[in-house]
Amino acid sequence: MDKHRHFIIHKPFGYLSQFINNQNRRRNKKLLGELLDFPEGTMAIGRLDEDSEGLLLLTTDGKVSMQVRSKKVEKEYHVQVDGEITDVALAQLRNGVEIATRGNKYKTLPSKAARLFPIPTHLPRSKRIRDERHGPTSWLSITITEGKFRQVRKMTAAVGFPTLRLIRVRIGNIHLNEMPPGKVIEVDKFTLTSENE
Protein backbone atom coordinates (compact mmCIF):
# COMPACT_ATOMS: atom_id res chain seq x y z
CA MET A 1 0.00 0.00 0.00
CA ASP A 2 1.17 3.53 -0.71
CA LYS A 3 2.57 5.59 2.14
CA HIS A 4 0.09 7.85 3.89
CA ARG A 5 0.38 11.56 3.20
CA HIS A 6 0.00 14.49 5.58
CA PHE A 7 -0.51 18.19 4.96
CA ILE A 8 -0.48 21.39 7.02
CA ILE A 9 -2.59 24.19 5.54
CA HIS A 10 -3.70 27.70 6.40
CA LYS A 11 -7.40 27.51 5.63
CA PRO A 12 -8.52 30.86 4.28
CA PHE A 13 -11.73 32.60 5.32
CA GLY A 14 -14.69 31.50 3.18
CA TYR A 15 -13.55 27.94 2.48
CA LEU A 16 -15.39 24.82 3.62
CA SER A 17 -13.30 22.11 5.34
CA GLN A 18 -14.30 19.54 2.73
CA PHE A 19 -13.33 18.38 -0.74
CA ILE A 20 -16.65 17.45 -2.32
CA ASN A 21 -19.59 19.75 -2.64
CA ASN A 22 -22.46 17.48 -1.66
CA GLN A 23 -25.06 20.15 -1.04
CA ASN A 24 -26.77 21.89 -3.93
CA ARG A 25 -27.24 25.10 -1.98
CA ARG A 26 -23.47 25.30 -1.61
CA ARG A 27 -22.84 25.35 -5.35
CA ASN A 28 -20.64 28.45 -5.22
CA LYS A 29 -18.70 27.53 -2.10
CA LYS A 30 -14.92 27.26 -2.05
CA LEU A 31 -13.53 23.84 -1.14
CA LEU A 32 -10.11 22.70 0.06
CA GLY A 33 -9.44 20.87 -3.20
CA GLU A 34 -9.06 24.28 -4.87
CA LEU A 35 -5.85 24.86 -2.89
CA LEU A 36 -4.04 21.74 -4.15
CA ASP A 37 -4.73 18.49 -5.97
CA PHE A 38 -4.79 16.39 -2.79
CA PRO A 39 -4.51 12.59 -3.05
CA GLU A 40 -7.67 10.48 -2.95
CA GLY A 41 -8.79 9.71 0.60
CA THR A 42 -7.45 12.96 2.11
CA MET A 43 -9.54 14.12 5.08
CA ALA A 44 -9.53 17.24 7.22
CA ILE A 45 -8.73 16.53 10.87
CA GLY A 46 -11.13 18.56 12.97
CA ARG A 47 -12.90 21.09 10.81
CA LEU A 48 -12.84 24.85 10.76
CA ASP A 49 -16.16 26.36 9.73
CA GLU A 50 -16.49 28.56 6.67
CA ASP A 51 -16.02 31.81 8.60
CA SER A 52 -12.98 30.55 10.54
CA GLU A 53 -9.37 30.64 9.41
CA GLY A 54 -6.05 29.18 10.29
CA LEU A 55 -4.26 25.94 10.93
CA LEU A 56 -5.86 22.78 9.53
CA LEU A 57 -4.23 19.38 9.28
CA LEU A 58 -5.10 16.96 6.48
CA THR A 59 -4.18 13.30 6.24
CA THR A 60 -4.95 10.09 4.38
CA ASP A 61 -4.50 8.15 7.67
CA GLY A 62 -7.59 7.70 9.85
CA LYS A 63 -5.49 6.66 12.88
CA VAL A 64 -3.59 9.95 12.79
CA SER A 65 -6.89 11.80 12.54
CA MET A 66 -8.08 10.12 15.77
CA GLN A 67 -4.83 11.02 17.58
CA VAL A 68 -5.04 14.70 16.65
CA ARG A 69 -8.70 14.94 17.66
CA SER A 70 -8.00 13.40 21.08
CA LYS A 71 -8.30 15.49 24.24
CA LYS A 72 -4.53 15.13 24.78
CA VAL A 73 -3.80 17.58 21.98
CA GLU A 74 -4.35 21.29 22.61
CA LYS A 75 -5.89 23.56 19.97
CA GLU A 76 -5.14 27.29 20.36
CA TYR A 77 -7.17 30.06 18.73
CA HIS A 78 -6.73 33.81 18.36
CA VAL A 79 -10.20 35.26 18.75
CA GLN A 80 -11.36 38.81 18.08
CA VAL A 81 -14.49 39.52 20.09
CA ASP A 82 -17.03 42.32 20.15
CA GLY A 83 -16.38 44.55 23.17
CA GLU A 84 -13.70 44.94 25.84
CA ILE A 85 -13.44 41.49 27.42
CA THR A 86 -13.76 41.50 31.21
CA ASP A 87 -11.83 39.55 33.83
CA VAL A 88 -15.11 37.90 34.85
CA ALA A 89 -15.74 36.68 31.29
CA LEU A 90 -12.17 35.36 31.02
CA ALA A 91 -12.59 33.49 34.30
CA GLN A 92 -15.83 31.96 33.02
CA LEU A 93 -14.13 30.82 29.81
CA ARG A 94 -11.30 29.24 31.84
CA ASN A 95 -13.71 27.39 34.14
CA GLY A 96 -15.98 26.11 31.37
CA VAL A 97 -19.28 27.53 30.13
CA GLU A 98 -22.59 26.02 29.16
CA ILE A 99 -23.22 25.84 25.42
CA ALA A 100 -25.75 24.04 23.26
CA THR A 101 -24.48 21.21 21.12
CA ARG A 102 -26.75 19.03 18.99
CA GLY A 103 -29.74 20.38 20.87
CA ASN A 104 -28.36 19.45 24.29
CA LYS A 105 -26.75 21.58 26.98
CA TYR A 106 -23.04 20.93 27.44
CA LYS A 107 -20.49 22.39 29.85
CA THR A 108 -17.14 22.91 28.17
CA LEU A 109 -13.99 21.57 29.80
CA PRO A 110 -11.69 24.07 31.51
CA SER A 111 -9.67 26.03 28.97
CA LYS A 112 -6.86 28.55 28.85
CA ALA A 113 -8.07 32.06 28.05
CA ALA A 114 -6.14 35.33 28.14
CA ARG A 115 -6.12 38.76 26.53
CA LEU A 116 -3.59 39.13 23.75
CA PHE A 117 -1.11 42.00 24.09
CA PRO A 118 0.11 43.23 21.75
CA ILE A 119 -2.77 42.69 19.33
CA PRO A 120 -1.75 39.96 16.85
CA THR A 121 -0.77 41.10 13.37
CA HIS A 122 -2.77 38.64 11.28
CA LEU A 123 -3.26 39.60 7.64
CA PRO A 124 -6.57 41.38 6.96
CA ARG A 125 -9.43 39.03 6.15
CA SER A 126 -10.94 38.96 2.66
CA LYS A 127 -14.27 40.08 4.15
CA ARG A 128 -13.78 43.09 6.37
CA ILE A 129 -14.47 42.95 10.09
CA ARG A 130 -16.44 45.90 11.38
CA ASP A 131 -14.14 48.73 12.45
CA GLU A 132 -13.54 50.41 15.79
CA ARG A 133 -16.11 53.14 15.07
CA HIS A 134 -18.76 50.57 15.99
CA GLY A 135 -17.24 50.08 19.44
CA PRO A 136 -14.14 48.42 20.85
CA THR A 137 -13.00 44.88 20.18
CA SER A 138 -10.60 42.61 22.08
CA TRP A 139 -8.22 39.85 21.00
CA LEU A 140 -7.96 36.69 23.11
CA SER A 141 -6.02 33.48 23.07
CA ILE A 142 -8.29 30.52 23.85
CA THR A 143 -6.83 27.01 24.12
CA ILE A 144 -9.14 24.00 24.29
CA THR A 145 -8.67 20.24 24.15
CA GLU A 146 -12.06 19.36 22.71
CA GLY A 147 -13.76 20.36 19.49
CA LYS A 148 -17.53 20.63 19.61
CA PHE A 149 -19.26 22.23 16.62
CA ARG A 150 -18.48 25.99 16.60
CA GLN A 151 -17.33 25.61 20.21
CA VAL A 152 -15.14 28.70 20.61
CA ARG A 153 -17.78 30.94 19.01
CA LYS A 154 -20.42 29.50 21.33
CA MET A 155 -18.13 29.96 24.34
CA THR A 156 -17.46 33.67 23.74
CA ALA A 157 -21.15 34.29 22.99
CA ALA A 158 -22.09 32.53 26.25
CA VAL A 159 -20.05 35.07 28.24
CA GLY A 160 -21.46 38.04 26.32
CA PHE A 161 -18.67 38.71 23.80
CA PRO A 162 -19.59 37.43 20.32
CA THR A 163 -16.72 36.30 18.09
CA LEU A 164 -15.93 38.56 15.13
CA ARG A 165 -12.89 36.67 13.84
CA LEU A 166 -11.49 33.23 14.69
CA ILE A 167 -8.04 31.96 13.69
CA ARG A 168 -6.60 28.61 14.82
CA VAL A 169 -2.89 29.21 15.43
CA ARG A 170 -1.73 25.95 17.02
CA ILE A 171 -2.53 22.23 17.17
CA GLY A 172 -0.28 20.47 19.69
CA ASN A 173 3.15 21.86 18.87
CA ILE A 174 2.38 22.62 15.21
CA HIS A 175 2.12 26.39 14.82
CA LEU A 176 0.60 28.53 12.07
CA ASN A 177 3.44 31.06 12.41
CA GLU A 178 3.73 33.28 9.31
CA MET A 179 2.10 30.82 6.93
CA PRO A 180 -0.06 32.84 4.49
CA PRO A 181 -3.72 31.95 3.84
CA GLY A 182 -4.07 29.21 1.23
CA LYS A 183 -0.54 27.85 1.75
CA VAL A 184 -0.18 24.05 1.83
CA ILE A 185 2.90 22.25 3.20
CA GLU A 186 3.30 18.48 2.88
CA VAL A 187 5.08 16.84 5.84
CA ASP A 188 6.31 13.30 6.53
CA LYS A 189 4.33 13.11 9.79
CA PHE A 190 2.69 15.21 12.47
CA THR A 191 4.51 15.56 15.78
CA LEU A 192 1.61 15.67 18.16
CA THR A 193 2.92 16.44 21.62
CA SER A 194 1.03 19.08 23.56
CA GLU A 195 2.84 22.21 24.69
CA ASN A 196 2.50 21.26 28.35
CA GLU A 197 4.12 17.84 28.00
Domains of the chain by residue range: 6-69, 75-171
Q: What is the mean pLDDT of the chain?
A: 89
Beta bridge partners, 15, equal 30
Residues acting as catalytic residues: 49
Asked if pLDDT for residue 195 goes beyond 60, the answer is no
pLDDT at residue number 107: 95
Q: pLDDT band at 128, cuts 50/70/90? A: confident
Q: Which of 72, 177, 65, 82 minimizes the C-alpha distance to 137?
A: 82
pLDDT at residue number 97: 95
Asked if pLDDT for residue 166 goes beyond 90, the answer is yes
CATH class of 6-69: alpha beta
> What is the SS3 assignment for 128?
coil
> For the chain, how many residues are written?
197
Asked if pLDDT for residue 197 goes beyond 80, the answer is no
How many angstroms separate the CA atoms of 169 and 120, rounded?
Answer: 11
Report the run of H or E that residue 107 belongs to, with start and end. strand 104-107
Same fold, 6-69 and 75-171: yes
Arch. (CATH architecture) of 75-171: 2-Layer Sandwich (3.30)
> What is the SS3 assignment for 153?
helix
Name the burial class of residue 5, with classes exposed (0-12), middle (13-18) and buried (19+) by CB atoms within 10 angstroms of its CB.
middle
pLDDT at residue number 92: 97
Q: What is the pTM of this model?
A: 0.91
Note the pLDDT tens digit of each residue in 137-154.
999 999 999 988 899 999
Note the pLDDT tens digit of each residue in 75-115.
999 999 999 999 999 999 999 999 998 889 999 999 999 99
Note the pLDDT tens digit of each residue in 14-70.
998 888 765 555 567 889 989 999 999 999 998 899 999 999 999 999 888 888 888
How many angstroms separate the CA atoms of 70 and 44, rounded?
Answer: 14
User: Taking the mean position of all CA atoms in its chain, how far away is CA 173?
Assistant: 15
How many angstroms separate the CA atoms of 154 and 104, rounded?
Answer: 13
Contact between 75 and 144 (Cβ < 8 Å): yes
